[in-house]
Structure 1
Amino acid sequence: MQKYKFTKLILAAALASTTMLSHAAKLEVGAILLDTRGEWMSEVIHGMEAAGEELDVKVRIVDSNGDLSKEASLIDNFIARQVDAITLSPLNDESSIAAFERAVDAGIPVITWNSKVNSPKSKYFVGVNNYDLGKKTGEVAVEYIKNEMDGKANLAVIGTHKYSVGLERVNGFLDQVKALPGVKIVANQDAEYVELGLTVTENILEANPDVNLVWAWNLTSMLGAYAAIDSKQDNKPMLMGTDMSLDVARYMENDNSFLLAVTTQQPYEIGRQSIYRAVDVAKAGQTDSEVLVPLKTYHSNDKQSLKEYNESRDYLK
């Protein structure tokens, strides 16, 4: 009887040890967002969470809130936690380098997504070609200007000098439209969020009533520009921009919409792939050096595609 009890104790201890090892073996990925405002980042988060469930790993999502010191602190916290990998959307390709390299030097692989750092230690990236993101809408703008505006346009650009990804988009767009001799760049001002996008666009249109085309570099500035243009009683300029949302799709579905075309990333898939690549590196020590998620351009005259976009995003409603 005593031998039987002793055997049971050994088996129980072995089972407990196995259970502890099982829990300990569950990978943990630290995911740092540069911001959580807006539908775009919400899609990224959903993609990350989906990947965590699919791969059975812990995904700890945090937000640097556009603050470099907070970004550095979050990276240091993940180093202290000894997470298995980090996915990071860097705030700045130069200023984010030091904290990024601290993680790499600590033996923690870092996948950058959405934006990059100019470090020789940066080996993995998930995102898009941002030059192409602007270029594709620029190509649509060129065709519209040629076919609907007699080859002439007074253009306002809502851009950014804060982020390298934004500069790449602006350059991609401008390289297309500047090739038309009839295009005049009336204004090129920075805005990032809805409020400033609204104010900047209102000021541009007030100072330049002859503006007949506006392009915006990101979703939130485009929504601000939309609100500014929509408030005008007449002589509304046409609008094009970057990245879709449920509101954007609804605006474009309206008959005679002045929001003509939007080239978009797939943020859900960017978030999802960033976690998959992080887990690959944590387990195997390597993964694809670059994963570029395909782009898509939506047009206001393609109502079926806009309807499909809305119907496929019930998780955001």
Structure 2
Amino acid sequence: MKRKMWGLVLSAMLVASLGVGCQSKETASQGAAEGAPAQEDSQKTDITIGSVIMNTSGEWFAEVIKGQQDAAKDLGVKFSIVSSENEVSKESDNVATYVAQQVDALCISPLSTDASVAAVEAAKGANIPVVNWNTTVNTETAGFVGVSNYDLGGSTGKYVVEYVKENFPNGCKLAILGNSSYEVGVERCNGFKDAIKDAPGIEIVAEQDAELQEQGLDVTEQILTANPDIDMIWAWNQTSLLGCVAALQNANNNKIIVMGTDMSVDLAKDMQSDAVKLQAITTQMPYDIGYKAVENAVKAAKGESIEKKVLVPLKTYIKDDAAEIEQYIEDHKDLVK
């Protein structure tokens, strides 16, 4: 239910960002529904920025979208955004449409370091500067905005090591909800596992891929069935973590310690609850990533120099830090519908 709600919220945000341009409102709405980029004409400007987002699964992307929209508004540029829905072919079509529209710069979170090269090269070939964010691609771009995903996973891993040392004197059996499909997930998992590999008392007893919330729920249930004596679960992303938490709540299990990546309002509320032991979440600042990506794209469109690599700081939220968790919920209440 939570994922369906966020799907509706993100769809509304995407439609809001897709302006009518020279189209009628009816035509523009049809274009948004079909995933075709449309341009916004609500502001008088000579610069148009196109944005290609990987998918719209979860609050993390809602924050990115909000950051990008706010940057475009603050800078007074035309802006539109479209989702590739995790399909490289759709990503290529989206970029091709922006090239045909002759946008002045492109923001993109590439789906694949290799398979997304052709789309990025097509934009560059049309003299459109490209700013990639969140993920990298094996070709030169005007600049990158994001985090070190290796450090993102590693930060939680370091916390796990200290937590186990203090709370599990007889050792800790750990399960991982990971990702082996693309760069972001692989780097996070590598960072996490490298951080814990030399720690005494930590044994990885299960490791399975999970991405969306339903997968996180299903995989967690499978792990609990096969390993009823596990002590801790780490989840690599927001949606798999939400699924993991849901599975433990369904099982009335508040004994297993849960750690993960990428905070959300729902997860913050879960940290406040005693129904599950959600102990720590290391998170990015997705709003800042989105804002900076558009800001740099505008600079690139104007021919101004930008930093080749902008890394946004990380933060770890702890269940015991009640005030910080409450502040997170307050700061992000505008995303809750």
**Same fold by TM (over 0.5)?**
yes
Provide the residue aligned with 1:165 in structure 2: 184
Provide the residue aligned with 2:321 in structure 1: 302
Is the contact made by 2:142 and 2:306 (CA closer than 8 Å) also made in structure 1? no
Provide the residue aligned with 2:29 in structure 1: none
How far did 1:58 drift?
A: 1.0
**Aligned pair 1:195/2:214, yes or no?**
yes
Q: Provide the C-alpha distance between the structure 2 equivalents of 1:85 and 1:297, rounded to a whole number of angstroms.
A: 33
Structure 2 counterpart of 1:87, one-letter code: C
Q: Provide the C-alpha distance between the structure 2 equivalents of 1:195 and 1:299, rounded to a whole number of angstroms.
A: 25
**Aligned pair 1:292/2:311, yes or no?**
yes
Is the contact made by 2:68 and 2:290 (CA closer than 8 Å) also made in structure 1? yes
Q: Deviations over 1:112-166 (max 9, x none)?
A: 00101011x2341000011110011111100110000116111101010112111
Please, which runs of 5 or more residues in structure 2 have no aligned partner? 1-42
Q: Deviations over 1:272-296 (max 9, x none)?
A: 0100000011112431101111111
Q: Provide the C-alpha distance between the structure 1 equivalents of 2:44 and 2:257, rounded to a whole number of angstroms.
A: 56
Structure 2 counterpart of 1:75, one-letter code: V
Identity value in percent: 46
Moved more, 219-228 or 282-291: 282-291
Q: Provide the C-alpha distance between the structure 2 equivalents of 1:76 and 1:286, rounded to a whole number of angstroms.
A: 25
Q: Secondary structure at the match of 1:86?
A: strand
The 5-angstrom pairing of residues 1-317 of structure 1 reads: 25-119=45-139, 121-150=140-169, 152-234=171-253, 236-255=255-274, 257-317=276-336
Moved more, 267-276 or 148-157: 148-157
Q: Secondary structure at the match of 1:185?
A: strand
Provide the residue aligned with 1:13 in structure 2: none
After TM superposition, what 4+ stretches of structure 1 lie above 3 angstroms from structure 2? Answer: 233-236
CA 1:261–1:234: 2 relative to 1, 3 Å: closer
Structure 2 counterpart of 1:63, one-letter code: S
Structure-1-length-normalised TM-score? 0.90
Please, which runs of 5 or more residues in structure 1 have no aligned partner? 1-22
Q: Provide the C-alpha distance between the structure 2 equivalents of 1:24 and 1:305, rounded to a whole number of angstroms.
A: 40
Q: Provide the C-alpha distance between the structure 2 equivalents of 1:259 and 1:296, rounded to a whole number of angstroms.
A: 16
CA 1:282–1:237: 2 relative to 1, 3 Å: same
Provide the residue aligned with 1:6 in structure 2: none
